[in-house]
A and B are shown apart, each in its own frame.
Chain A
Amino acid sequence: MSLVIDVGTVLRDSVSVFYSSLLTRHTGAAVRNEIERRVVEVGSPVVTTIDFSKIDLLDVSCADEIVAKLLLRYYEGNNGLTGYLLLQGIRDDHLDAIDAVLEKRNLALVAWHDGQAELHGIVDETERRHWEIVRELGPVTSDRVSEQLGTTDVQTTTQLTRLWSRRLLRYEDAHFTVPGTVEPAVGEHAQ
């Protein structure tokens, strides 16, 4: 099951119908709370995608409240927020704010742009190489990734497991994929 949340709609529903920009911590906290409420209401979606395509400006304070704190809430694991959190519809100036908050809190996430998954935030070079191979070949086994990168099974498994534990990769039936690849999100509501 996947869920797409249009954050522009959430902003207008939860803060003001006149707003098109995500600005200030106050606004960010209100939007994050509403996103959490919608995710929990739907009940354990495997992939939740936050769509920023209707957002004009995003400042750093708001990005921290929505993106960084939402990711941290997913990591807590005791609040009904399960599965994978993705972004889509983000522009270069949105990325300035998103990259800043991910860097500050040592976080990373997957965003989809024109049908291509991108990795943002803090990942080291080895992690990134493994993630990109999975993006290219997935669904793919650890053995196949190891073969492609010329690394040992242990090294590859360690890296892929780390990426999976950070929710940057999915693992199902002994195969790794980038979240959002196999089960594309197709609507405002649970699919």
Chain B
Amino acid sequence: MELVFEQLAPLPREQKVVIDARHTRWASPYGLTTLLCVAQSRLERADFTVPEHTDTASYWARTGFFRHAADLYELHGHVPRHREGESDVLLEITPIVQSADVHGVVGRIKDKSAEILHGQLGLDMAVTGRFGMTLSEACGNIVEHAGQGGWVAVQTYAYRKRLGRRVVVIAVCDAGVGFRQSLESSPAHRTSDRWDDSRALEAAVLRAVSRYRHGDDGRGQGLAQIRKFVAKWNGKLSVRSGTARLAIVPGWDEDEPMQETLPYFPGSQMQIIIPEKVADNASATLSSRSTAARPAVRAS
């Protein structure tokens, strides 16, 4: 997605763009939810060319991507028919606008998450409730802070190239105000020379600072709980907002804890990865990043 952001960042919001996904072979829940945010971030309705590879397009259809993309993009190419009931899609891409949507999402995955987290990933049964809580907090952030709706998707897949194990992935993305602007709206906020998107992410994710903390000391706990959950299950958390991306990196991954001066993209994009439990925790296999083709952008 960084390549997409890089191409979008210099373009005025009102300029029409084409998201060319014809040669795409794969996309994570993070990638798909973020592609919907891309459409929301444009003032002129963007064009979108559907992946040509049948399996890819079919998989994107199973995630519910095209159903929502049809409302946001001018779609070009063959859109496969949407089929439900695929076991690897724990939660199809779902819009989050209000509190009721969070209840709906958590309720929908309740039964299936126990089967997948415990049955397929070998995690303790205790993970199920905590997983629901984490999902709720992540989605609640959109309702509380984004200023506009966002998207959530949950999926399991084999993370072979990086980890050699199955993982469950939660992606929660929006194109709203982002962490920096959200914190700047607090009466307690004091701008300094060092204030930027990366400092805003550190404040919110690592120090549990919230725009509502002024007058309400209990705020900012949602992200702290997400971090706790991720640490407990040896998972990875990454949050991108504006021009920065912060990651809580487990031993099995090589990501950078903080990336700054990235191409600007509005809102916040969060990804949580929880890996399958294996008998020998030290046996995680590290390898190079996936080289699967990603969508490209062109101005038109």
State the interface size on chain B (CB cutoff 8 A). 26
B58 at the interface (CB under 8 A from A): no
Q: How many A-B residue pairs have CB under 8 A?
A: 85
Complex-state Cα separation, A56 to B107, whole angstroms: 10
A46 at the interface (CB under 8 A from B): no
Name which of B102, B130, B136, B217 has the most chain A CB atoms within 10 A of its CB: B136
With known contacts A21-B107, A56-B110, A68-B218, A26–B133 Cβ distance under 8 A:
no
Nearest Cβ on chain B to A142's Cβ, whole angstroms: 33
State the interface size on chain A (CB cutoff 8 A). 28
The residues of B that contact A20 with a CB separation of less than 8 Å are 107
With known contacts A16-B100, A56-B110, A100-B225, A25–B140 Cβ distance under 8 A:
yes
The residues of B that contact A64 with a CB separation of less than 8 Å are 218-219, 221
Residue pair B218, A26 in contact (C-beta under 8 Å) = no
Residue pair B225, A60 in contact (C-beta under 8 Å) = yes
The residues of A that contact B102 with a CB separation of less than 8 Å are 23-24
1/0 contact string of A19-34 vs chain B (CB within 8 Å): 1110111110000000
A109 at the interface (CB under 8 A from B): no
A93 at the interface (CB under 8 A from B): yes
Please list the 10 inter-chain residue pairs (A to B) with the smallest Cβ-Cβ separation, ordered nearest first.
A93-B129, A26-B99, A59-B136, A24-B99, A64-B218, A23-B136, A59-B133, A60-B225, A57-B132, A60-B221
Residues of A in contact with B (beta carbons under 8 Å apart)? 16, 18-21, 23-27, 56-61, 64, 68-69, 91-93, 96-97, 100-101, 104-105
What are 25 A-B pairs with beta-carbon distances under 8 A? A19-B107, A20-B107, A21-B136, A23-B140, A24-B99, A24-B140, A24-B143, A25-B99, A57-B133, A59-B132, A59-B137, A59-B222, A60-B133, A60-B137, A60-B222, A60-B224, A61-B137, A64-B219, A64-B221, A68-B218, A91-B129, A93-B126, A93-B133, A96-B133, A101-B221
